[in-house]
């Protein structure tokens, strides 16, 4: 797939770039993408939820009424889950939600997500750029030039640039990531994908394209 390379002022440069079909032209596998997104979200969960069971509630253990003769049910403690302030039955306890996925599955999921964006013509390639200082206004200008200012956009850079990251941090619909950290969730969560020229080669290398 051949795509034009844009400059940050929104104009086309004289260059084009080839996106390898092994990465950007595969048949999207929806189930594999679902598994990768599920793992990404599960691994982000803290799992620190906790509810007290009847053994942990601070309450009197005095027997409420005598065992027989009251005409009602038998109760041994106010800690019982049927009373207000009692323990909770089978309440949540701290746990680890993370799970593992095969590397080949994660690779196929990323390639499926990238191919899906390519089919939708939602990928734009820009020349490598950097900022001398953090300037949110300058980053907004780039988004407007590329017609993405009102859409959720993922910028993929070849190498870390703290000034670019700081310039985009306050923009709610923009996320900047490194090509080496690209994941299926971020790709699918964005409407448009803006990839720097140098990042394309890194994405190819990550998926074994020579």
Alpha-carbon span 206 to 190, nearest angstrom: 21
The residue among 86, 88, 90, 91 whose CA lies nearest residue 61 is 86
Hey, what are 95's tokens?
């746990």
pLDDT tens for 8-49 read 888 888 888 989 999 999 999 999 999 999 999 999 999 999
Q: Is the dihedral of CA 53, 99, 190, 142 positive or negative?
A: positive
Query: Residue 110 pLDDT more than 70?
Result: yes
Q: What is the DSSP string of 73-121?
A: -----TTSTTSTT-PPTT------------HHHHHHHHHHHHHHHHHTT
pLDDT tens for 81-104 read 999 889 999 999 999 999 999 999
Alpha-carbon span 201 to 158, nearest angstrom: 8
- Residue-level pLDDT at 210: 55
- Residue-level pLDDT at 47: 94
Hey, what are 121's tokens?
């013509």
- Residue-level pLDDT at 76: 87
Position of tokens 């302030």? Answer: 85
Query: Residue 78 pLDDT more than 70?
Result: yes
Q: Which domains does the chain have, with CATH numbers?
A: 2-45+97-206 (3.40.1370.10), 47-96 (no CATH)
């Amino acid at each position: 797939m051949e795509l034009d390379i844009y400059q940050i002022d929104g104009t086309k440069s004289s260059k084009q770039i080839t996106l390898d079909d092994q990465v950007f032209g595969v048949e999207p596998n929806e189930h594999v993408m679902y598994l990768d997104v599920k793992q990404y979200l599960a691994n982000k969960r803290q799992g620190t939820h906790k509810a007290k069971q009847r053994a942990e509630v601070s309450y009197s253990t005095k027997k409420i009424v005598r065992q027989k003769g009251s005409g009602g049910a038998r109760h041994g403690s106010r800690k019982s889950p049927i009373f207000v302030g009692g323990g909770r039955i089978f309440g949540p306890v701290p746990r680890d939600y993370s799970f593992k996925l095969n590397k080949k599955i994660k690779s196929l999921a990323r390639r499926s997500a990238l191919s899906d964006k390519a089919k939708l013509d939602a990928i734009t390639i820009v020349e490598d750029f950097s900022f001398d200082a953090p300037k949110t206004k300058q980053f907004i200008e780039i988004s407007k030039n590329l017609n993405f200012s009102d859409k959720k956009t993922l910028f993929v850079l070849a190498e870390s640039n703290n000034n670019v990251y700081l310039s985009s941090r306050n923009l709610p619909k923009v996320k900047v990531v490194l090509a080496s950290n690209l994941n299926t969730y971020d790709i699918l969560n964005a409407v448009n994908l803006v990839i720097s020229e140098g990042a394309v080669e890194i994405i190819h290398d990550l998926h074994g394209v020579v």
